[in-house]
A and B are shown apart, each in its own frame.
Chain A
Amino acid sequence: MSVVLQHNENGGAHEEHHEHKQTFIEKYIFSYDHKMISKQYLITGLIMGIIGIMMSVLFRIQLAWPGESFWIFDALLGKFSKDGVMDPSMYLALVTIHGTIMVFFVLTAGLSGTFSNLLIPLQIGARDMASGFLNMVSYWLFFISCTIMLSSLFVEAGPASAGWTIYPPLSALPQAIGGSGMGMTLWLISMAFFIASQIIAGLNYIVTVLNLRTKGMSMTRLPLTVWALFVTAIIGLVSFPVLLSAALLLIMDRSFGTSFFLSDIYIQGEVLAHQGGSPVLFEHLFWFLGHPEVYIVILPAMGLVSEIMATNARKPIFGYRAMIASILAIAFLSTIVWGHHMFVSGMNPFLGSVFTFTTLLIAIPSAVKAFNWITTLWKGNLQMNPAMLFSIGFVSTFITGGLTGIILGDSTLDINVHDTYFVVAHFHLVMGISAIYGLLAGVYHWFPKMFGRMMNKNLGYVHFWITAIAAYGVFFPMHFVGLAGLPRRYYTNTAFPYFDDLADVNVLITVFAIIAAAVQVVFLWNFFYSIFYGKKATQNPWNSTTLEWTTPVEHIHGNWPGELPVVYRWPYDYSKMDKDEKDYVIAGQDFVPQNVPIRDNEEETMH
């Protein structure tokens, strides 16, 4: 039984408490409440993450000890493992589904789905999303899409195996690879549901941020989390429909005999009727989403990290306006750089020049962000909570991974490192590991808000340090494998002797990968154990200024029991001193929540 607040547009002037018994289904399954939906997103995302990471461990084992027999392959891969040796087509399937799951299901839905739902209403002072119903629909479409994607693992000819970029003709022709039959069909259907879910969710986020901000919450008083999530939703709305169109055209090529992407093909002893299409068109359509997608993944992580870093450094985020400007610049540029995935695709080299230019431009706002984070730490009073450690880890991997982007974004240099392990190392550090760190930092930080309990900090420390070491252990040496000229998506590099000297590095990488995967069990244990038995949280455990910490620990529908809070200041008044520079604005307390009016003893900042 819970107290339900009548939703009211003018901030709850006529509240009316009444008892309403929610059934189990209303509360936990088809919930309209953004806090519950956020938990649903998180847990679904974590489950998909476990599957995705397990897959990577499997193919890493194959790469380190190619052609050797492992009982785990027999146990998990069934007929795709003969005597415990992984089948080459299964290797490609694992790589494909690992990529798909991690990019879309974990880092898009799991990350921005969880935190957009949790934080947008709570941090802008709204009672819920603009449309609770659409919010529920978006989660359930996501759920359906997960189910379809996972079911594709069990079809006879294997799941989609043309890489997560599903370039036709490989993805269009079941004759070319088994996974392009039923497996690919299910992949496309699953993605169609996924895109619908993202578009609905994105519209909801945008409308909520624009319309439901509480009194005083101007756009320049929004926490950076909300800015990042808001802009992410806009990019998603611009680019996801294009992926849907690519998927639809591909479905037509596959099933209805059209030739959007196919031309002049002779396969399995016969000439196909397709004539006049171009795979390069598909590449353009795919990367028109595909590149903004990496920013859809990383921007929310940036937002979370900015917020967590300021809170734990007990300092305002350095250059708040520059941070917003760089989010906007990155978002804008992200939509005009897609061609850097296609320098050697056969498109006109002149286009390559243009995309080199725009791509290297994007390094500028990224550099500004990195410098601003580092400066935020300078002369702080850093509270080393697990969330803070993951945030620092984020900045570290973002810089390491981001720098190599300057090489890949340069069309000349891309010629020789394109599609090698150098690319794999680059994007895993800059958007894979970094975004996962952002997600984990967010979970540690907002766990008290989500579940009313605290996660165990010691397990958090163990989790962070082992993950941090293992993640670098996997991906730093991998750059060298790429620079040695080894192409990615190779079932084994021992088919010819030239790369034999890479065997040791591959073993090292795999060992670190297994350690990294294994230590996530510590996190999962901590997460699920703390939901039920964690230490009870206080209302504002991290002494934070933002509005979500003014709500009661126990979740109520409508978030605030009384009137909505009114906002008087920006979200980063940490360690602000009074006019005499003697004490903090509120004596003895190093933070001023957003809902505290400007005091006589402080200077007003521009926010």
Chain B
Amino acid sequence: MTTLLIIIVIALLGITFWQLSKIVKLSKPSDSNDTEIADNKDNKNQAQLMLAFTVFLYGLMFYSFWEYGKLLLPDSASEHGHTFDQLMLISMGLLIFVQMITQFLLHWFAYKYHGKKGRKALFYADNDKLEFIWTIIPVIALAGLIIYGLFSWNDIMNLEETDETLVVEIYAYQFDWRARYAGNDKTLGKANVRFIEGVNQLGLDESDPYTEDDVIVNELHLPKGRPVIFKFRSQDVLHSAYFPHFRAQMNVVPGMITQFGFTPTLTTEEMRQTDYMVDKVQTINEIREENSIELEAQGDMALEEYEFDYFLLCNKICGASHYNMQMKIVVEEEEDFDAWMSEQQTFQELTAKK
């Protein structure tokens, strides 16, 4: 029955298109040529459509910047992130400038020089000077961006460990994150997947004394203003640790330890208080309230009110639940961090329990 229905639908669609093409044929004015090659009239009509399209394109661009510009991430919550934001701003400014000019020229020429009876195109094959100019301008602009970018890149990637530095291991597996702090000895104990057993879910080497005071948690706490170096380790497949608010990302690769570092500059509480975040959270809660009405009508629970928290996302396809692999991050003042840390269980305490 369904098959029959599908066949009928396909047949009807076919007939529709056959009839449509007839309409297209009939709707042609009788004086038009039917060579299917653009004639004077087509050139004129299409040129006008080109102009209309240009209006659409610029409209879309302005609308997007106006309406979706507010969706962008807030100002960086990490130290190096300010360099990142600055470079992004400069690059974006340049791109938007070039985009506006080149798109205008392209579409304007397409409109202005549309074919006309009697119009002669200019035989203009070469101009070394012009080509030199538009080779050298991108060279200079790009040289600037490259130099700026490379200096920032070196600063960001050259991690120096000092006494002050907090070293944290981020451990990824399908489909969750764990964090491991080095504890009082400031050294992460050895680990390998081959040691995974029972409560020792991260595969710490129990024979290594440095593991004893390591602290394993599933919520990442960071003290404000202290440089952190993350050491990433994966248990199974590739993951990527993405901290969008801190302008930080590094892949997590099974079989090797990768690293990245940053210094958080805004506590969770401070971020919540920014105008940006107040607005954003309000918008989200309005959406959630609307959805809740719908849910309640169906007899489901209403959604809880949302409050902002930093998070770490997985950003490398890692399996079916990739989309929901995240960890909460709390940035707090040093003393709050210390207080929190003192409440945590060390690895030794964890294993002693069994």
Contacts and interface: CB of A to CB of B under 8 A. Distances in A.
B36 interface: yes
B352 interface: no
Interface in B130-155: 130-131, 134-135, 138-139, 142, 145-146, 149-150, 152-154
A477 B107 contact: no
A280 interface: yes
Contact of A271 (B125, B194, B242): B194
Interface string B3-37: 00000000000000100010010001000001111
Interface stretch (A192-200, A211-219, A226-234, A479-487): A479-487
A162 interface: yes
Contacts of A262: 254-255
B124 A318 contact: yes
A167 interface: yes
B330 interface: no
B250 interface: yes
Interface in B222-274: 232, 235-238, 240, 242, 244-245, 247-251, 253-256, 258, 260
Contacts of B149: 356, 360, 410-413
Nearest to B116: A381
Interface in A10-44: none
B287 A407 contact: no
Given A381-B119, A574-B121, A605-B125, A500 B287 contact: yes
Contact of B238 (A167, A364, A420, A484): A167
Nearest to A392: B110
B53 to A, nearest CB: 6
Contact of B122 (A380, A407, A410, A479): A380
Interface string A137-158: 0000000000000000000000
A131 interface: no
B64 A476 contact: yes
B19 to A, nearest CB: 12
B63 to A, nearest CB: 9
Contact of B123 (A322, A392, A477, A574): A574
Interface stretch (B66-74, B162-170, B204-212, B336-344): B66-74
Nearest to A572: B125
* A277, A411, A465, A485: most-surrounded residue (chain B CB, <10 A): A485
Interface stretch (B40-48, B178-186, B213-221): B40-48
B319 A419 contact: no
Contacts, number: 390
A529 interface: yes
Contacts of A256: none
B120 A381 contact: yes
Interface of B: 17, 21, 24, 28, 34-38, 42-43, 45-47, 49-50, 53, 56-57, 60-61, 64, 68-69, 71-73, 83-84, 87-88, 91-92, 94-95, 98-99, 102-103, 105-107, 109-110, 113-116, 119-127, 130-131, 134-135, 138-139, 142, 145-146, 149-150, 152-154, 156-158, 173-174, 192-194, 196, 203, 232, 235-238, 240, 242, 244-245, 247-251, 253-256, 258, 260, 280, 283-284, 287-288, 303, 306, 308, 311, 313-324, 326
Given A346-B250, A381-B120, 5 more contacts: A344-B260, A380-B122, A489-B322, A498-B308, A541-B36
Interface of A: 87-89, 92, 162-163, 167-170, 173, 176-178, 262-267, 271, 276-280, 313-322, 344-346, 349, 352-353, 356-357, 360-361, 363-364, 367-368, 370-375, 377-385, 388-389, 392, 395-396, 399-400, 403-404, 406-407, 410-413, 415-416, 418-420, 454-459, 461, 465, 468-469, 472-473, 476-477, 479-481, 483-485, 487, 489-493, 495-498, 500-503, 505, 521, 525, 529, 534-535, 538, 541-542, 572, 574-577, 590, 605
